[in-house]
Amino acid sequence: MTEIFVLTEHRQGQIRDITFEMLSKGRELAGKTNTELTAVLLGKEVKNHAKTLQDYAKRVLLVEDTQLENFNSDAYQKVLSSLIKEHKPLLTLMGHTSFGVELAPSLAVSLDTPLATDCIDLEFEGETLTVIRQMYGGKVNVKAVLRKAESYIVTVRQATFPVEKEAPMNGEIVEVPSPLSEEIAKKRFVKYVLPPPGGVDITAAEVLIGIGRGIKDGSNIPPVEELAKTLGGALACSRPIVDKGWLPNGCQVGSSGKTVKPKFYLALGISGAFQHVLGMKSSDVIIAVNKDPKAPIFGVADYAVVEDLFKIVPPLKSKIEELKR
């Protein structure tokens, strides 16, 4: 009986949510393919994590080594290769995250195993693996098949698979001696750098106005800032706005920025790339204003406005001032 591997993502003492999302999906796939679900945990002194994972998998493969203290894709690749060669899992799942993006491609090449990245769904039909992924910033879906093989690697998108509440599996912890014999020399972790503190804390705001590339120029921001002030809220933004230096880092919403859950999120000229949506989809009420009726942001919005944002901002501000009087 073969297995489905799920790579545990953990950083600075915390297992990341994506791990449990993958374990949920992995459990479903294991049931359908008559395979066993194995959580793979690599680290240094991480037995506490192994205990947590016992509830979610049939087996926890634990490899401990000082070289696995901080994620290093070269070290991970060596250890995973050896585990995959020995166990021959049907599938290895990892997150399409700063872990999986760095690790999965080189692992796949070194094992000559087909890889599909950033998948939002996957299914076996017999031995054939079919995946769903997105292209063109989420405007189209693609159904794709992987080249037939005995083992596959797939990276999955975060916050895509729900974590189902299920009976604990009471998995067995299997400690495997580290196969790392030499020092990983070509790539070395130095240290973590925290984002600079200060600025407005957008995670604390009840009302957020998020601006995207649709704002066209930094000089168009002040009127929107005025609108945010009128509402007693704060300005947030998508990544290109920070990249261009129009707003500080702390204002960015998304996978590489902040996760926000305000009572009200008004998205102005944001297309709705998944990296942005990840950071704001749990907001209470989402209103999106976009010129493009097919913009993916409308897929997470409660209310959709297909209009030029510059035509909406001024009357909205006057309307709110009127209601406040």
Partner 1 sequence: MDIIVCVKYVPETAEAEIKIDSTGKAIEKTGLVFDINEWDDYALEEAVLLKEKLGGTVTAITIGSEDSDAVLRKCLARGADDAIRLTDPQFEGSDGYAIAKILSKVIKNLPFSLILTGAQASDDGYATVGPILATLLGIPHATMVKKIELDDGVAKVNRELEGGLEEIAEITLPAVLAVQTGINEPRYVSIMGTRKAMKKEIKILGLADVGLSENEVGETGSWIKTEKMYVPPVEKQAEFLNGSPEEIAAKIAEILKTKGLI
Ligand X SMILES: Cc1cc2nc3c(=O)[nH]c(=O)nc-3n(C[C@H](O)[C@H](O)[C@H](O)COP(=O)(O)OP(=O)(O)OC[C@H]3O[C@@H](n4cnc5c(N)ncnc54)[C@H](O)[C@@H]3O)c2cc1C
Distance between CA atoms of residues 29 and 315, nearest Å? 51
What residues numbered 25-64 form the site for partner 1, per CB under 8 A?
none
Q: Give me the residue whose beta carbon is nearest to ligand X.
A: 254
Distance between CA atoms of residues 206 and 252, nearest Å? 16
Q: How far is CA 183 from the centre of its chain?
A: 30
Distance between CA atoms of residues 120 and 16, nearest Å? 18
302 binds partner 1 (CB under 8 A): yes
95 binds ligand X (CB under 6 A): no
138 binds partner 1 (CB under 8 A): yes
Choose among partner 1, ligand X, none what residue 309 binds, the Cβ cut-off being 5 to 8 Å by kind: ligand X
83 binds ligand X (CB under 6 A): no
105 binds ligand X (CB under 6 A): no
Distance between CA atoms of residues 165 and 27, nearest Å? 12
Of 168 and 325, nearer to partner 1 (C-beta) is 325
Instruction: Tell me, letter by letter, the H, E, C secondary structure of 236-280.
Output: EECHHHHHCCCCCHHHEECCCCECCCCCEEEEECCCCCHHHHCCC
**Which of 144, 166, 199, 229 forms a contact with partner 1 (CB under 8 A)?**
144
Q: Give every CB contact of residue 185 below 8 A, 6+ residues apart in sequence.
A: none
Of 47 and 187, nearer to partner 1 (C-beta) is 187
Of 167 and 322, nearer to partner 1 (C-beta) is 322
Distance in Å, CB of 216 to ligand X, minimum: 7
What residues numbered 209-248 form the site for ligand X, per CB under 6 A?
212-214, 238-240
DSSP, res 279: T
Of 23 and 266, nearer to partner 1 (C-beta) is 266
Distance between CA atoms of residues 67 and 182, nearest Å? 10
The end-to-end CA distance of the chain, in Å, is 71
Choose among partner 1, ligand X, none what residue 58 binds, the Cβ cut-off being 5 to 8 Å by kind: none
- Strand-pair category, 207-211 with 152-156: unpaired
Choose among partner 1, ligand X, none what residue 127 binds, the Cβ cut-off being 5 to 8 Å by kind: none
Distance in Å, CB of 1 to partner 1, minimum: 26
Of 202 and 273, nearer to ligand X (C-beta) is 273
How many C-beta atoms surround the C-beta of residue 84 within 10 A? 20
Distance between CA atoms of residues 139 and 61, nearest Å? 39
- Give the binding site for ligand X (CB under 6 A): 137, 212-214, 238-240, 252-257, 269-271, 273, 275-276, 279, 289-292, 295, 308-310
